Amino acid sequence: SAVRGHRFREPSGFIPPGLFVGILARMYHQLEYNIMQPARMWRDHAVLVLNNKKTRVILRCDLDNAIIDIIACASENEQLFVGAAKGQASIVIWLVHLIKMFLRSYSQLNFEESWLCPNPWCHGIGIGDNAPSEYRGSNFLLSPTMRCQKSHDCNVEGCWRFLGTGHKLEPMKLQKGQMNACKGCNNKPVFTLREKVA
């Protein structure tokens, strides 16, 4: 299995109860038809299906710990890519971009971001389940390499169709000292999709 994950965490421990539902509502109305379905949406999580049902993404909100997770799963790394030409990138990177644009209207919140271990075991995959369960790996903290200063409209730029270069506006990098082995699986993580995870 190929797995990639991204975590937003509000250090204050509080996010408004309607924030995650707002994210789901925006995505449901803007993403291509059938990526999201009401039968796969709940108050605290949703399942997105892409790439001819070969790729599944879980959006998950833990209000008690002020966490929003994006976890993408597929059989092969290549199936985690979406978009074409300039817009081709990991589905996780694209969804992170869309969520960040939504969060701009919540300027009082200051989310920390981290990558999650790409080992399926740390997500509970392959332990009697085919879907991610409680995460047991490390959080690999990120810092922005630059901030987006220009105005950006996802509707105009084609982001909801995974087109254009919106996903490159705020690239992230690992903070110093964050490339240690994961505490869950004891493996050193490989985050790029071009490389195989051990």
Q: What is the pLDDT of residues 79-112, one digit of tens each?
A: 999 987 777 899 999 999 999 999 988 989 999 9
User: Residues in the chain, how many?
Assistant: 198
Q: Residue 197 — very low, low, confident or very high, per pLDDT cuts 50/70/90? A: very low
pLDDT tens, position by position, 114-172: 999 999 999 988 755 556 668 999 999 999 887 666 788 999 999 999 998 888 888 88
Rounded Cα distance between 138 and 117, Å, is 6
Q: Give yes or no for a contact between 184 and 119, defined as CB atoms under 8 angstroms apart.
A: yes
CA dihedral (102, 162, 8, 121) positive or negative: positive
pLDDT tens, position by position, 34-71: 999 999 999 999 999 999 999 999 999 999 999 999 99
Q: Residue 176 — very low, low, confident or very high, per pLDDT cuts 50/70/90? A: confident
Question: Residue 83 corresponds to which tokens in the numbers above?
Answer: 């978009």
pLDDT above 70 (res 198): no
The CB density around residue 27, as the number of other CB atoms within 10 Å, is 20
Q: What is the DSSP letter of 41?
A: B
pLDDT tens, position by position, 7-37: 999 999 999 989 999 999 999 999 999 999 9
CA dihedral (130, 133, 137, 138) positive or negative: positive
In whole angstroms, how far apart are CA 69 and each of 48, 59, 62, 72, 144? 13, 6, 8, 10, 18
- Provide the residue type at 34 as one letter: N
DSSP bridge partners of 174: 142
- The percentage of the chain sitting over the pLDDT mark of 70, rounded to a whole number, equals 91
| The 45-50 sheet, strands edge to edge | 45-50, 55-62, 67-74, 2-9, 112-116, 139-144, 172-174
Q: Give the helix ranges, DSSP H, for 82-140.
A: 91-103
